[in-house]
Amino acid sequence: MNLGMGLFNLIPAFPMDGGRVLRAALASRIGFLPASKLAIRVGIVFAWLFLALGLYLWSPSLLMVGGFLHVALAIERNRLVWTHYQQSTGFTPPWDPDDVFKRSTRTTMGPGLFRA
C-alpha cells in the first residue's frame, strides 16, 4: 500500500512531488518561470486524465484527485503570475494572490463557506 502511494505521488503532475521534481529538472535547463509554466501544463493534462479515468471507472477517489489538481494548479498559476509581476516591476501586485482560491472554493463549495 505504501509503495503504491509513493509511486502515485511520483506521477509528474504538479503540485504533487513528481511534478515538483519535473519542475526542478527543467528549471536547471530552461529557467524557473518557463519550467513552472511547463510543469503546470503537464499537471493540467494529468488532472484531466484523472477526471476522465474517474468518470470512466466511476472512481470518486480519482475524481477528487483530478478536482484537487485543478484547484491547486489554478492557485499555483496565480501565485506564479503574482511573483513574476513583483519581481519584474518591484511593486506588490494590485490583486490578492489568494483570490483564485477564494473564487474556486466559493463556486465549488457554496457561497457561505468562505467570505472574502
The distance of Cα 89 from the centroid of its chain, to the nearest Å, equals 25
Q: What is the pLDDT of residues 9-46, one digit of tens each?
A: 888 888 888 989 999 999 999 988 889 889 999 999 99
pLDDT(83) > 70: yes
Q: What is the pLDDT of residue 98?
A: 63
Residue 33 CB-half CA count within 13 A: 9
How does the average pLDDT of the chain come out, rounded?
Answer: 81
- 15 prior amide bond cis, ω within 30: yes
pLDDT(56) > 80: yes
The terminus-to-terminus CA distance of the chain in angstroms comes to 40
What average pLDDT score do residues 86-114 get? 61
How would residue 51 be classed by pLDDT, with cut points 50, 70 and 90?
Answer: very high
Would you say 70 and 62 are in contact if contact means Cβ atoms under 8 Å apart?
no
Segments in the chain forming alpha helices (H): 2-9, 17-30, 32-57, 60-89, 99-109
